[in-house]
Structure 1
Amino acid sequence: MKTVLSLAALAATTASFAIAAPAAAKTGDPVVVSDNLTIDPIIDGTLRWEHVDQDDLGLDADALTFRMRAGAEATIHNLSFLAEAESTLAIVDNYNDTIPGNNGYLGAEPYSVVADPQNVELNRLQASYKGKGLKVTLGRQRIILDDARFVGNVGWRQNEQTFDAVRGEAKFGPLSLDATYSISQRTIFGIDSPNEHFDGDLILVNATVDAKPVKIVGFAYLLDYDTRIAFSSKTFGAMATGKLPLGDAVTLDFKLRYATQQDFELNPVDYSAEYIDAELGVSVAGFGLKAGYEELGSDDGVAAFQTPLATAHAFNGWADLFLTTPATGLRDYFGAASAKIGDAGPFKGVGATVIYHEFKSDFGSIDYGHEWDAIMTFKLGGYPFLLKYANYTAKNFGTDTEKLWLQVSFSY
């Protein structure tokens, strides 16, 4: 598969835009309207170029998209009201943004998929009450639990995932409780897709004990979809994370997580599967190494552990071959190396990470393939930039896939 060479021109154009523009203002304090009323404006945007090259799957895709969110949060005493609109514009539209779904929404564009459809929507509309150790939020809202492995906002994509829900959060010393009842998962697929939202009864419960330096989380997720019944499930599990200082410049961090999942309510498939996640990392003076193993188990190849509410792009490779777990399950053996490089001329706060994944099935001894991922972040002209790359080599699953991104964002 050919190496992507079209980055340089776009990088130069985007960098010129960033340097010519005034320095981005930092998110400031809310505007004080009166003794009892403050208003906090919400303005942020992301300009991204994404290139996708997949063997034997249509034409290479090039997407230049711009996402903008704008709104405000007004706070009166213990009450707050937030409204936020979100829009995505395709400046270069050489990509398939019609996401395949259960209703056969395939579109006719001959390119590889980039999951950033043009879209204008109400992203959030919520009311909140916040008291001592207590917060209740009602309405369309962003929900990210833990590291977003099971529940997240799919924050990498331009269109954000939100939920129509009521959420309660309470904190009692080291104990935190978080419970949500949602009637609708508002997806990233856009207003023109039949999969714009998935309705049902979604119950999300977390309990956390922060016993420094170790944090322990117990969770239960009960998903009863009205139409997406193949993903109706009940999941119960626990996680332990921690950072242990081993000296002035050395830190050891770890994560251990286990969960079980079964079919729930109208799901036509009777299955039971396990989830295992184990990670160990060490950082020394700005350099880091990490090794890990993640398993999304299979019930004898009939069905596998699924995470339909997750920010799945952050796990199992950035080429996105495993957003839905194959019926034979997934075992992901991975290692990462990272470095905080610091300032280099006009590039401020440079950091880089390289990750390697080896993918195998949980059932049937299938060698799926392997993937290399890399990312570099820095600030230029006061704006955060991101350069990101993924290269998946297929063996017995999917197809060779190469992706490249260049992104700049701002927030006020």
Structure 2
Amino acid sequence: MTQTLRPLAACIALTTLSAAPALAADSLTEALENSETKLHLRTRFEDVDQDGVESSSALTQKTRLTFQSGTFNNMSFLLEMDDTTALTDVDYNDGTGINTDTAVIADPEGTEVNQVYVNYQMGGTKARYGRQRILLDNQRFVGGVGWRQNEQTFDALSLTNKSLENIDLFYAYVHNVNRIFGEGSPAGDHNHETHLLNASFSGLGAGKLVGYGYLIENKTAQVFSSDTFGLRWEGKLSESLGYNLEYASQTDAGDNPMDYSADYMLAEGVAGVQKFKFKLGYEVLGSDDGNAAFTTSLATLHAFQGWTDKFLGTPATGVEDLYVSAGHPVGPVNLTVVYHSLSANEGDMDYGNELGLVAGTKVGPVGLTFKYADYSADDYATDTRKLWLMAAMTF
């Protein structure tokens, strides 16, 4: 760990040791009686029409079974199993190296442990060891890729502390990342020696200030090794008007073969007018003279720069994304339209633009989603259209 991060890590550790004990269950039997089991089902049809490759479609079923124990002596346990099954022939590129002449639908079949961890809670401090979900801030840098049928999780030791008023502290040491491609794929697991630190202060009244340091050393794919330090401000002007400002600086780390330095910037405004919800934003993933660019290899990438996923890897010339969205309920259906204008940070390339539409509603316990995205290429990638129909429920 670098000298910059040692004081914050020490602060977290000290706060962990000094936290007051929490109330414990009277017996192990009582803790087991307080356990909870959930079943989550998600059925999805995805169709991809992409210039240059054969179109593809997939009908897949995700089944998730989660067991959460009660707490005894400040300790609890969670086990979560996921299964992804194709309900039709797998004649599409599922991201594992098959059917490479077809468009990618990154939902490979497989059954695996999604989460399994021991949790220790004492006062305002929580320690968690094992395979776990880590979602930081808006998941731009660290997230779970929850849109895909196989979620991204982390084999890690994490510490969370909320014992100080208006202050949240988080630290994790990650030694493996379980990626969306599954255990059966060579790209499914990336070995790490990664440190994640995130601290926030919400006592300013006008918003929340977040500082972070993400020291990523990816032993499997060193090109993703980087050190990132940044600040995020989540401001609030009124109940219906807010804004987000963020800046981060990134350099290569570990044995990354690239030698680079790049910046990240975000300016975003959000507003609610009656039942309308509007968002206007400008995001920059900077470039180092066109040789290498700012990367976010642990992010929930599908949520950013368009739903057609044309920018899962940042081009060497960087990305500038000007986007706007508008949402409004129509009866029981929530509708949102999103538009992205994407261009290079280095040079004058206009990458393209994307228009997206999502509609969601609930019928009894079943959540229904329609989602469509259309990317029109100018100087980057190819024209791509994606359609999703999804039904999900939890028991």
TM-score, L = length of structure 1: 0.86
Give, in whole Å, the separation in 2 of the partners of 1:95 and 1:257. 42
State the SS of the aligned residue for 1:93: coil
The equivalent position to 1:160 in structure 2, one of 144, 148, 151, is 151
In the alignment, does 2:304 pair up with 1:304?
Answer: no
- What is the match of residue 39 of structure 2? 43
- Measured after TM superposition, the shift of residue 189 of structure 1 is 0.4
- Measured after TM superposition, the shift of residue 342 of structure 1 is 4.0
C-alpha contact 1:260 1:274 (8 A) present in aligned 2:
yes
The equivalent position to 1:234 in structure 2, one of 227, 234, 244, is 227
- What is the match of residue 410 of structure 1? 393
Residue type at the aligned position of 1:313: H
State the SS of the aligned residue for 2:302: helix
In the alignment, does 2:197 pair up with 1:205?
Answer: yes
Give, in whole Å, the separation in 1 of the partners of 2:359 and 2:133. 27
- Which stretch shifts more, 107-116 or 298-307? 107-116
Q: What pairs with 1:305-320 in structure 2 (closer than 5 Å)?
A: 305-320=294-309
- Which stretch shifts more, 322-331 or 380-389? 380-389
- Measured after TM superposition, the shift of residue 196 of structure 1 is 1.1
Give, in whole Å, the separation in 2 of the partners of 1:273 and 1:120. 38
- What is the match of residue 337 of structure 2? 354
- Measured after TM superposition, the shift of residue 95 of structure 1 is 4.6
Give, in whole Å, the separation in 2 of the partners of 1:382 and 1:98. 30
Give, in whole Å, the separation in 2 of the partners of 1:79 and 1:393. 52
Shift of the 288–108 alpha-carbon distance from structure 1 to 2, 3 Å rule, reads closer
C-alpha contact 1:240 1:256 (8 A) present in aligned 2:
yes
* Number of equivalent positions: 365
State the SS of the aligned residue for 2:30: coil
Shift of the 198–306 alpha-carbon distance from structure 1 to 2, 3 Å rule, reads same
The equivalent position to 1:388 in structure 2, one of 339, 362, 371, is 371
Give, in whole Å, the separation in 2 of the partners of 1:109 and 1:361. 28
CA root-mean-square deviation? 1.5
Shift of the 98–288 alpha-carbon distance from structure 1 to 2, 3 Å rule, reads closer
In the alignment, does 2:213 pair up with 1:220?
Answer: yes
- Measured after TM superposition, the shift of residue 109 of structure 1 is 5.0
- What is the match of residue 380 of structure 2? 397
- What is the match of residue 122 of structure 2? 131
Give, in whole Å, the separation in 2 of the partners of 1:231 and 1:85. 28
Q: Deviations over 1:167-199 (max 9, x none)?
A: 000011100100000100100001221011000
In the alignment, does 2:237 pair up with 1:244?
Answer: yes
C-alpha contact 1:61 1:94 (8 A) present in aligned 2:
no
- Measured after TM superposition, the shift of residue 271 of structure 1 is 0.2
State the SS of the aligned residue for 2:88: strand
- Measured after TM superposition, the shift of residue 321 of structure 1 is 0.1
- What is the match of residue 330 of structure 1? 319
State the SS of the aligned residue for 1:375: strand
Residue type at the aligned position of 2:200: T
Structure 2: gaps of 5 or more residues: 1-26
- What is the match of residue 85 of structure 2? 89
Give, in whole Å, the separation in 1 of the partners of 2:31 and 2:108. 41
- What is the match of residue 143 of structure 1? 134
Residue type at the aligned position of 1:114: I
The equivalent position to 1:72 in structure 2, one of 63, 67, 80, is 67
C-alpha contact 1:98 1:193 (8 A) present in aligned 2:
no
Q: Deviations over 1:262-321 (max 9, x none)?
A: 000101111000000110121111102211100000000110000000000000000000
C-alpha contact 1:62 1:94 (8 A) present in aligned 2:
no
- Measured after TM superposition, the shift of residue 124 of structure 1 is 0.8
State the SS of the aligned residue for 1:307: coil
C-alpha contact 2:173 2:196 (8 A) present in aligned 1:
yes
- Measured after TM superposition, the shift of residue 89 of structure 1 is 0.4
In the alignment, does 2:187 pair up with 1:195?
Answer: yes
User: Which one has a larger percent strand, Structure 1 or Structure 2?
Assistant: 1
C-alpha contact 1:62 1:92 (8 A) present in aligned 2:
no
- Measured after TM superposition, the shift of residue 97 of structure 1 is 3.7
In the alignment, does 2:110 pair up with 1:114?
Answer: no
Give, in whole Å, the separation in 2 of the partners of 1:271 and 1:357. 27
